[in-house]
Amino acid sequence: MTIFWKIEYSHDLNVTMSPGYQILDDNRTTIKITDSEGNELIGGYDYSFVEETTAPVWWVK
Amino acid sequence: MVANINPIYARVSDVQVGGAVIGTNANTATDGTGANTYEIFDSDATEGSFVQKVVLKPISSIAATVARLWFCSATGTFTGGTTNTAGNTTMIAELSIAAWTASNSLAAPQYEIPVNFPLPPGTKMLMTFGTSTGAATTGFNPLIIAGKY
């Protein structure tokens, strides 16, 4: 079962935090980390776990 | 002539604890930058320290991640994201961490990163995690086995 975590991420030393998702497989290995629209995050950034959640509307198995 | 022809030994043990559960806040940078960077060891301010190893044991249930150990040549007070720059911080080692479910009948895996080199006075070792381990109560409180010169 895929696991979805809400996260807050920032590319600029946590000055502006944006919502996103950390998506994990049932072994709790991260599949990808995205912004709130499902775009995969790239480059160096900091992020924090917010809460476990349900699949976002854009998610396709 | 060399400055020192004698062996050098630590004068006192210096076992330091990271001081907090870290892992919930991740840092994907691999150049030593980022606010979610944690100071886990501060060498002796006057004589420096010899670090033997860093020990990690999972706290609670964690997702798989990668632990990154850094050397930071800056001295003085450490502020994550400000003190550590690409110019003064470089990676010592990376360690793959498997997901773990907390148990009272099975021992959690123990991870050790051998260091075995001296740190100049006042310099630091830092740690980051490439992905979040989960909620704020999950992660690691690193144990650093060292000695002060």
Helix (H), strand (E), coil (C) string for chain B: CCCCCCCCCCCEEEEEECCCCECCEEECCCCCCCCCCEEEEECCCCCCEEEEEEEECCECCECCEEEEEEEECCCCCCCCCCCCCCCCEEEEEEEEECCECCCCCCCCCCEEEEEEEEECCCCEEEEEECCCCCCCCCEECCEEEEEEC
CATH code, domain carrying B25: 2.60.120
Distances (CA, A) of B4 to A27, B29, B61, B81, B107: 53, 39, 48, 37, 45
Do the Cβ atoms of A49 and B134 come within 8 Å? Answer: yes
**pLDDT tens for residues B91-122?**
999 999 999 999 999 999 999 999 999 999 99
Quick check: is B15 in a domain? no
**B36 → chain A, closest CA residue:** A46
Determine which of B79, B131, B133, B138 to mutate to test the interface with A (most A C-beta atoms within 10 Å): B131
**Whole-angstrom Cα distance, residue B56 to residue B72?**
20
Expressed as residue numbers, the domain containing B134 is 20-148
**Whole-angstrom Cα distance, residue B22 to residue B43?**
20
Residues in chain B closer than 8 A to A45 (CB atoms): 27-29, 34
The answer to whether residues B138 and B3 touch, using CB atoms and an 8 Å cutoff, is no
Nearest CA among B54, B47, B63 for reference residue B129: B63
pLDDT band, very low/low/confident/very high, at A34 (cuts 50, 70, 90): very high
pTM: 0.94
Assess B24–A contact: CB distance below 8 Å, yes or no: yes
The answer on pLDDT for A23 being more than 70 is yes
**Whole-angstrom Cα distance, residue A6 to residue B41?**
31
Question: How many domains does chain B fold into?
Answer: 1
Identify the residue whose tokens are 């030593």: B32
Residue B54 has a CB neighbour count (10 Å cut-off) of 27
Quick check: is B14 in a domain? no
The answer on pLDDT for B144 being more than 80 is yes
Q: Can you tell me the ipTM of this complex?
A: 0.91
**Whole-angstrom Cα distance, residue B54 to residue B60?**
19
Residues in chain B closer than 8 A to A21 (CB atoms): none
Residue B42 CB contacts under 8 Å (≥ 6 apart), including other chains: B16, B78, B122, B124
**A50 → chain B, closest CA residue:** B135
Q: Where exactly are the structural domains of chain A?
A: 3-53
pLDDT band, very low/low/confident/very high, at B143 (cuts 50, 70, 90): very high
**pLDDT tens for residues B30-86?**
999 999 999 999 999 999 999 999 999 999 999 999 999 999 999 999 999 999 999
Do the Cβ atoms of A48 and B25 come within 8 Å? Answer: yes
Please give the pLDDT value at position B21.
96
The answer on pLDDT for B5 being more than 90 is no
Residues in chain A closer than 8 A to B31 (CB atoms): 44
Give the distance between the most distant pair of CA atoms in chain B.
59
55-114 in chain B: CB under 8 A from chain A: 61-65, 81-82, 99
